[in-house]
Amino acid sequence: MKITQLTIYPVKSLRGISLERAALTERGLAHDRQWMVVDDIGRFVTQRQLPGMARIGVRLTDEALVLEHPAAAPLVVPLERADQPRLPVYVWDDLCQALDEGAEAAAWLGAVLGDFKGSGLSLVRFAPDQRRGVEPHYLAPGEQAHTAFADGYPFLVVSEGSLDEVNRRLAAKGLAPVPMARFRPSIVIDAAEPFTEDGWDELSLHDGAVRLGLRKPCQRCKITTVDQATGEIAVPGEPLRTLVEMNTRRAPGGYFGQNAILLAGGGRTLAVGDALVASPN
């Protein structure tokens, strides 16, 4: 098997950046989910509430995070800033310390996303001295893992065969196929068997110098129904409804992909084309 796609999402729920190579950190691929949009009380805001967030493009330069939208001039956020105010913010029930990116970023978000339930919107960065642990009851004895602003895990691994099977089911309903971008994975693998990743315990590469532990199936949400190019919902409920019908986990809800942690290889690099070896559960 080989890696066929690597994608980072520097700002949670905005567009991703496809890469040929990506550095590995304990918190995920470098720069992944290091920023987040929050409301006035620090609660995270995503495409679940504002599908139009999918229209905001993201770039990284050596000096800045750049956000782009058709309705506004680009927002340039320096990567290095001094004396940023710290804010308490929430991802689900996790309380994190974050750095406020300021009034200009807040005004830009308000201009392109509009009103959000009477609340303002702010852009925050994960404080580098923070540690947000992964839920421990899914880890093996002795394992520890942490992430930044991802929903819960630093990596999401998906096989191409899984997407092919979802699209086969959609075609049987007379519906158009959906691209992999709907599921926002960080690592895509060319395994052909549908949902084969659900049977893996580990993925290794570089002769075992890099090891990923697959620890929890990813239960999907309404973000899968949002077209990641337009920010619109073309077919209400799909492909989430089809995932629920497929019942791949013999459990309520629709599942697609495996949440993963880094077991070894921090500081090394993954590349499209790298060969992987899977170890079964």
pLDDT digits (tens, 9 = 90+) for 180-238: 999 999 999 999 999 999 999 999 999 999 999 999 999 999 999 999 999 999 899 99
The average pLDDT across 154-177 equals: 98
- Nearest-CA neighbor of 190 among 18, 38, 5, 34? 5
What's the rounded mean pLDDT across residues 99-112? Answer: 98
CA distance 100 to 125: 7
Mean pLDDT of the chain: 96
Query: How confident is the model at residue 249, as a pLDDT?
Result: 85
H-helix or E-strand spanning residue 16: none
Distinct helix (H) and strand (E) counts, the chain: 3, 20
Under 8 Å between Cβ of 87 and 120: no
Q: pLDDT category, 250, cuts 50, 70, 90?
A: confident
251 pLDDT above the threshold of 90: no
Q: How confident is the model at residue 31 (pLDDT cuts 50, 70, 90)?
A: very high
Cis, peptide link before residue 239, omega less than 30° from 0: yes
Report CA-CA distances (Å) from 221 to 159, 218, 226, 235, 248: 19, 9, 10, 15, 15
Q: What is the pTM of this model?
A: 0.96
Give residue 217's pLDDT: 96
Give the pLDDT band of residue 252 (cuts 50, 70, 90): confident
> Is the pLDDT confidence value at 174 over 90?
yes
d(CA 224, CA 236): 10
pLDDT at position 82 over 90 = no
Q: d(Cα 136, Cα 68) in Å, to the nearest integer?
A: 37
Which ranges of the chain does DSSP label H, i.e. alpha helix? 103-113, 160-172, 240-246
pLDDT at 121 over 90: yes
Q: Per-residue pLDDT for 159 more than 90?
A: yes
Give the model's confidence band at 131: pLDDT under 50 very low, under 70 low, under 90 confident, else very high.
very high
pLDDT in tens, 51-78: 999 999 999 999 999 999 999 999 999 9
Q: What is the dihedral of CA 160, 166, 169, 173, to 10 degrees?
A: -120
Residues pairing with 6 in the sheet: 19, 187
Task: Measure the CA–CA gap between 109 and 166, rounded to whole angstroms.
Answer: 34
